[in-house]
Each structure stands twice: as C-alpha cells, then as structure tokens.
Structure 1
C-alpha cells in the first residue's frame, strides 16, 4: 500500500534508509535476474540498498537536468548518457528560450555527463539489460523529467520491462511516469500543492561524486562477501 501525504513530513532518515524501505516494495523481483540502475547522484545510495536487498545487479544510468540559463535551480528537461533528450516544452515556452540557448545548455550538460561517466565507469562496460527487468531508482521525483529521460534512454537497449522506483514523488508526476514506465513503485505519494523531495528526509544533503564511488565499491565488496563501512550519516538540517 502506498502512503499518501497531504502535508510533507520526514519519513526517511536518509537515502540509505529510503533504499531499505523501497526494497520492501520490490521483494517480488528478488533473485529474478533484475538489474537496478541508480540515477546519480542522489539515487545511487537508494539504488544500492535496493540492489543488495533483492540480489540484483547494480549499475548507473546518468540522467541530468538541463538548467534554466538564469535560474539553474530550475530546469527545462533532461539529458542522458546516451544522448537522449527530453524537453519540458511548457517550460521552454514560459522561459522564452530560443534554439541557440537550448543547444548551449544541452551542450553544457552533455560535457558534464561525459566527465561523470568517465569517473564512475572508468573502463567498466555497462551491464547488459537486454531481455531483463530493469528497475530505475532515484531518491525522489520532482518534475519527473530526469526519470522520463532515463526510461526513454533504456528502452533503446531492449529490456523486458522498465520499472521506475522512488521513495516519494508528487501524485501528478507519479501519474505521468506511469504513462512511460511499465510500472511505478513508490513508498509515499505527496498530494500537497507545493512539493519538495527534501521535506521527506530527516537528513538531506547533496551526494558527492566520492560518495557515489563509495556506493559502487560497497556494493562490489558486499556482493563478493566482503564488507566496508558506509559513509557516515551527515547531520545537516533540511533546506
């Protein structure tokens, strides 16, 4: 059963706790040769917990927001590591963006993705997802365009099913994602008029590249029978 919240309140300690709780919603995929793909940066810690809990393979799918030129906290779409672009046409019109501005912003994001792909993957080849169930995990849905771009990108690699899994998201965005994913799994759905993913976490902070790499090492060690310490929980207050 999905919890519905009309007012935001912390229901996850941090992203690692969110991963454990989300995994409880995905037990039917345990030991079914599923692949869990985390969206960096915030979705990686959540995805690692899911992959370990259900015995799935774990990798990344890089999908990044295209920031508005004069307001980088806002976005007008997303770009993925294979070049897939999903634009929020309503936001493009509202912001009055021309093609030159769009192309420039997209080129900046692509350069950032290339840099991060080299950092995260190094010489490691992506896991094959052809004919397999893929579970895309993020730490929450905001506009939904990052998830939409990831889904469209992965469809080109011919998985059997694509499941979008998040700890929390606003109701209207969850419904939008249901139109493009084979299934959406969420722990909670926000129905409040103003929605912030961070409000649902007691401890919220920006995940660094070093923590992403730490999660990849942690997963590899634990799958191989070893154990390393998770990064310490940071105690920043929510924004």
Structure 2
C-alpha cells in the first residue's frame, strides 16, 4: 500500500510549522531559512510569527568520489563540522577533505553575497533565532549552520523542521537550545518522500522570498 504523502509542498509545511511555533512566546524573533529549500518553509514560519526572514547558508562536504554523500558541512566563515562516526567508518580523516571544504566554503560565501545583494544580514545577537530547513536527514548541515549562528550570540536558538530522522533530531539537541520537528517517522529514507511537491528551489526564488534588498 502506498504511503500517503504528508505535506503538499514546502510552503504548506512552513505554515503548519509556523502554527506550531506561534503557540510560544518569543523575544524579538528572527527566522532563518537554510538555503535553498529551507527558505521556502521559513517564509511560512516568518509569516505566522510576524517575524523578519533572513537566510543561512551551509554547504555539504561530500565523501571522496561520492559528492552526494555528505560527511560534513561548512558555512561561509568558521570551521567545518564533520560526522566523525561516518568518517571513521569510511576510513577518512578531515585532512583528506581540505580541498573540498575550501571549495564549499567559497561557494557558501558566493551564495550569501547573491542572496543578501549588498545588505547586511539581520543581527542575531540577543534575539530568539529560529533556524528552519525543509527536513533533517543526517543533521550535519544543520549543525554547521547552528554553530555559526551560535557564535553570533542569540538569546535562544531553535532548529525547526517539518520532518526529521529520529537519530538526527536527537543528535542536534546538543547544538541548539531546542529542536521542533512536526514528524519523526520510524524510517526516513529521503526528505522528498514526505512532500507531494519537492521541486528544487532556485536562487531566484530565494531572492524573491527574502524581499527587497
């Protein structure tokens, strides 16, 4: 029997997530969407909370020969975050990934410039920051983004997502103050399986959702 898809699209998932988050009291909230697909979900959250929306960029570091298999992640600044158990299982050291890390960090910087279009990022210090993505599979990208945001001094840091793997949700709790996840299926093979429409988000869509520069 074919399993029913839960969320029609990212936008609808963001509205559901926003309804859950709206039940809380927030202090000067800021919603950050992880580019690219997370920005669509975050837009619905920001709308529900009446909060400003901005973007966070983290890039996956792929395993040698298998770039689609993420073993780490990096933001535009700071150190990379690695899934150390995965590296150990594969017999890989972070030192072997320096070239990939540097390339992905450069791409993260480039994307930030594209999305921000010359404006300064929304300040994080002293605020309740809600970091949003369209799903949480391994958690390594979310961890990298959370680490960069934490360094900017938020009052309270939440990671929120419509769907996530149980082990990834548990593992992320040490990097943020709270994880809000609407759905944690027993088996999560791919985030896209939980959306009827999981079309790839484009840079132009991200720029449009972020609004005027």
Contact 2:26–2:128 under 8 Å retained in 1: no
Q: Which runs of 5+ in 1 are unaligned?
A: 1-6, 222-239
Q: 1:8 to 1:160 in 2, by over 3 A?
A: farther
Note if 1:106 corresponds to 2:101.
yes
Note if 1:128 corresponds to 2:128.
no
Which residue is equivalent to 2:170? 175
TM superposition shift of 1:101: 2.9
| Higher deviation after alignment, 194-203 or 95-104 | 95-104
**Residues 26-41 of structure 1 aligned to structure 2 (within 5 Å):** 26-29=21-24, 32-41=27-36
Note if 1:21 corresponds to 2:16.
yes
Which residue is equivalent to 1:202? 196
Which residue is equivalent to 2:207? 213
Tell me the distance in 2 between the aligned counterparts of 1:168 and 1:8: 15
TM-score (norm. length: structure 2): 0.93
TM superposition shift of 1:97: 2.7
> How many residue pairs align between the two structures?
212
TM superposition shift of 1:210: 1.2
Q: 1:99 to 1:39 in 2, by over 3 A?
A: closer
TM-score (norm. length: structure 1): 0.83
- Work out which of the residue numbers 65, 68, 76 in structure 1 matches 2:71: 76
TM superposition shift of 1:29: 4.6
Q: Which runs of 5+ in 2 are unaligned?
A: none
Tell me the distance in 1 between the aligned counterparts of 2:79 and 2:156: 19
- Give RMSD over aligned pairs: 1.9
| Higher deviation after alignment, 59-68 or 37-46 | 59-68
TM superposition shift of 1:64: 1.4
